[in-house]
């Protein structure tokens, strides 16, 4: 069902002719706009993750120990939201340009898993752990459970950025000799390039 959505995205706007490009094809083949889109995504990610790192490091008691957490958070939050909006918009456009390539990419799938974990951690932090924020707001080091949440946040976003960078490499692209477990995770049998085992046999 999810793959059907990605297939639909890849064919959206395609003309009746065999070689008529879809909107995804046009976006992916637009050299200047693609580069601008990718660059904007990276810059917005730096802004978003950078502001989150500042708050997380404060929660861990590493930086700005004398400044209340609420002061730092309130001043940085607008930048975080701005970065997130641009990051999500450009990220969605990048996926739209090459939907099936992303769908069958192990790094993209891992990135989404840790992205979900990061956002769940944010929800838990804001709606559960910060209920008694007034009690530890000005402390050099917040309670352990707050620090654990901050550490999870840092770890998740570092992993998300790392896996996102790995997407650019073709180490585990379908159609190449891959371990069976990679072929299974990427659903290579349903991809255009097919699934090939380490012995070079088409599965």
pLDDT confidence tier of residue 90, bands split at 50, 70 and 90: very high
Place of tokens 């708050």: 55
Q: Quick one: average pLDDT of 191-202?
A: 85
Domain boundaries, the chain: 2-10+22-169, 171-203
> Would you give the DSSP letter of residue 188?
G
Q: Given this model, what pLDDT does residue 126 score?
A: 80
Left (φ > 0), alpha (ψ -120 to 50) or beta: where does 13 sit? Answer: left
Q: CA 73 → CA 46, 53, 67, 79, 136, distances in Å?
A: 17, 11, 10, 10, 14
Tell me phi and psi for residue 196, to 5 degrees: -125, 130
Q: Given this model, what pLDDT does residue 40 score?
A: 93
pLDDT confidence tier of residue 9, bands split at 50, 70 and 90: confident
List Cβ neighbours of 6 (8 Å cut-off, separation of 6 or more). 99, 100, 102, 103
Looking at the chain, the whole-number percentage of residues with pLDDT higher than 70 is 100
Q: From 119, 113, 112, select the one nearest 149 (Cα to Cα).
A: 119
pLDDT confidence tier of residue 79, bands split at 50, 70 and 90: very high
Q: Quick one: average pLDDT of 105-129?
A: 89
Q: From 35, 163, 155, 162, select the one nearest 105 (Cα to Cα).
A: 163
CA dihedral 86, 92, 93, 98 (to 10 degrees): 150
pLDDT confidence tier of residue 44, bands split at 50, 70 and 90: very high
Q: Given this model, what pLDDT does residue 134 score?
A: 82
């Amino acid at each position: 069902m999810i793959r059907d959505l990605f297939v639909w995205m890849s064919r959206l706007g395609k003309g009746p002719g065999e070689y008529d490009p879809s909107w995804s094809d046009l976006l992916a083949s637009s050299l200047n706009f693609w580069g601008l889109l990718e660059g904007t995504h990276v810059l917005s990610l730096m802004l978003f993750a950078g502001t989150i790192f500042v708050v997380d490091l404060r929660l861990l008691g590493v930086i700005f120990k004398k400044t209340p957490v609420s002061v730092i958070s309130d001043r940085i939050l607008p930048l975080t939201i701005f970065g997130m909006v641009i990051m999500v918009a450009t990220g969605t456009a990048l996926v739209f340009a090459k939907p099936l390539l992303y769908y069958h990419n192990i790094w993209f799938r891992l990135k989404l898993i840790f992205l979900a974990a990061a956002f769940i951690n944010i929800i838990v932090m804001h709606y559960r752990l910060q209920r008694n924020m007034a009690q530890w707001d000005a402390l050099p080091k917040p309670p352990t459970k707050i620090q654990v949440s901050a550490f999870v946040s840092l770890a998740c976003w570092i992993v998300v950025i790392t896996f996102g960078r790995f997407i650019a490499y073709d180490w585990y692209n379908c159609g190449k000799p891959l371990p069976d477990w990679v072929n299974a995770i990427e659903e290579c049998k349903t991809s255009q390039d097919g699934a090939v085992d380490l012995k070079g046999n088409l599965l």
